[in-house]
Amino acid sequence: MKWRAHVFALATAVSYLGFGAAVPEQSLREAARSSGLLIGTAVRPAPLSEAAYASTLAREFNLLEPEDALKWEGVHPEPQSFDFSQADRVVDFATRHDMKIRGHTLVWHRQNPKWLTEGKYASGELAQILEQHIRAVVGHYRGKIFAWDVVNEAFDELHPGELRSTIWRDQPGIGLAENGNSYIERCFRWAHEADPQALLFYNEAEAEVLNPKSDAIYAMVGDFRQRGVPIDGVGFQMHIADLHADVASISANISRFTALGVQVHITEMDVALPVDPNGSPRPEDLQKQADIYRQIATACLSHPGCTAIQTWGFTDKYSWIGSHSKQRQGAALLFDRDYRAKPAYAALRTALESGRR
Ligand code: G3I
């Protein structure tokens, strides 16, 4: 199977133009060069030892982000011990292939270890634990990770515009819940102290369009910028599950955030499709999916402050969508399970090639 994937990858990378000469087509990272846009993907450490995974990754992307390896349950498994081994594998790969690295994520309400969630810590202790975590993790990657998702998904989808109730905010929280978003501010300040050169992002789900959640984030970021809280960017995840993207609203949202002086990264894009029991999508859906990838890339490219597009994995062989949808959805990424480029790949590359700024 492996040689087939390689032959196919080579075939898709070459096109025949006039005069019978074989001219290699550009990879995504080459296509993105003229615009300066970073083109990235989430990465799992285990398949880095798989030849097709590693070669596709190195060829196509200039930005990587560990998908799970930097979350608390992996990196901080015991109160007094950190385990950077898995994330280090991703960081080493990126360094060897001249790629930038995003860090995900320092503060989240999911994928936290039991010692933390069941530890019944008081606010003061929790603040110390969080500060120590941020300083240790950001410090370990100082000068290597160029951008961090400092806080992820702090706003609630059930109560639009309101902060989510979490261990960090008010269960019991780090002691600042009564002051609105000041627990978030505190995390940005700690991260900045740990690596003053790193770009610090607030990352959010379902806030890519104009809606109450993005309004609340916009107000928070505007306030942070005005008061000199060190925030450099906003990540819009862009998990699309219904084959629909309101591109006008996404574009207007990118516009208003970049006008605040922060960068926008598209951080976790995938476009889930309904799949049959074999995991296969309908051909017509692959084309609709391609259109969405092209439209989102074009919207990002039309704003100079939108500086990265990242997909949440790149091969359908490794994607969170299947297990999280009881295998009803899948096929969300640019390459199929055998690393064959899908229509979405060509559509994204075309958009990147036409992006000049
Ligand atoms: O660590 C265990 C491992 O010990 C066990 O053997 C294995 C068996 O299933 O599970 C492993 O945990 C999995 C974990 O990822 C680490 O691989 C969980 O089952 C799995 O549910 C978990 O899913 C991750 C999910 O976040 C958790 O919420 C996905 O891989 C990851 O893609 C997803 O990523 C999130 C972003 O961080 C934030 N935005 C949304 C996005 C999609 O949900």
Confidence of residue 175 (pLDDT cuts 50, 70, 90): very high
CB 332 within 8 A of CB 270: yes
Average pLDDT over residues 313-333: 98
Nearest C-alpha neighbor of 94 from the set 142, 36, 144: 144
DSSP secondary structure string for all residues of 41-85: EEE-SGGGGSHHHHHHHHHH-SEEEESSTTSHHHH--BTTB---H
φ, ψ of residue 309 in degrees (nearest 5): -125, 125
Dig out the tokens for 85 from the structure: 């081994």
- Give the pair of three-digit tokens for residue 282: 């309908």
317 confidence band (pLDDT: 50, 70, 90): very high
Span 98-146, pLDDT tens digits: 999 999 999 999 999 999 999 999 999 999 999 999 999 999 999 999 9
Q: Ligand 1: which atom is nearest the Cα of residue 110? A: 28
Q: Probe ligand 1: pick from 68, 114, 267, max atoms within 8 Å of CB?
A: 68
pTM, two decimals, is 0.94
Report pLDDT for 22.
Answer: 59
Distance, in Å, from the CA atom of 14 to the CA atom of 64, rounded to the nearest integer, reads 25
Q: Which atom of ligand 1 is nearest to the CA of 320?
A: 32
In angstroms, what is the C-alpha Rg of the chain?
A: 20
* Residues framing ligand 1 (Cβ under 6 A): 67-68, 110-111, 152, 205, 237, 268, 320
CA of 260 from ligand 1 middle (Å) equals 33
Pocket test for ligand 1, best of 320, 321, 324 (most atoms within 8 A of CB): 320
Ligand 1 closest atom vs CA 105: 37
How deeply is 122 buried, as exposed, middle or buried, from its count of CB atoms within 10 A (0-12, 13-18, 19+)?
Answer: exposed
When pLDDT is averaged across residues 23-51 and rounded to a whole number, the result is: 94
Assign 3-state DSSP to the chain and report helix, strand, coil percentages, each to 5. 40, 20, 40
Where residue 192 falls among pLDDT bands split at 50, 70, 90? very high
State the average pLDDT over residues 143-166: 96
Task: Give me 71's structure tokens.
Answer: 């979350």
* 200-257 per-position pLDDT tens digit: 999 999 999 999 999 999 999 999 999 999 999 999 999 999 999 999 999 999 999 9
- Quick one: 10 exposed, middle or buried, by C-beta within 10 A (0-12, 13-18, 19+)? exposed
Closest-CA residue, ligand 1 atom 40, reads 205
Distance from Cα 69 to the centre of ligand 1, integer Å: 10
The whole-chain average pLDDT of the chain stands at 94
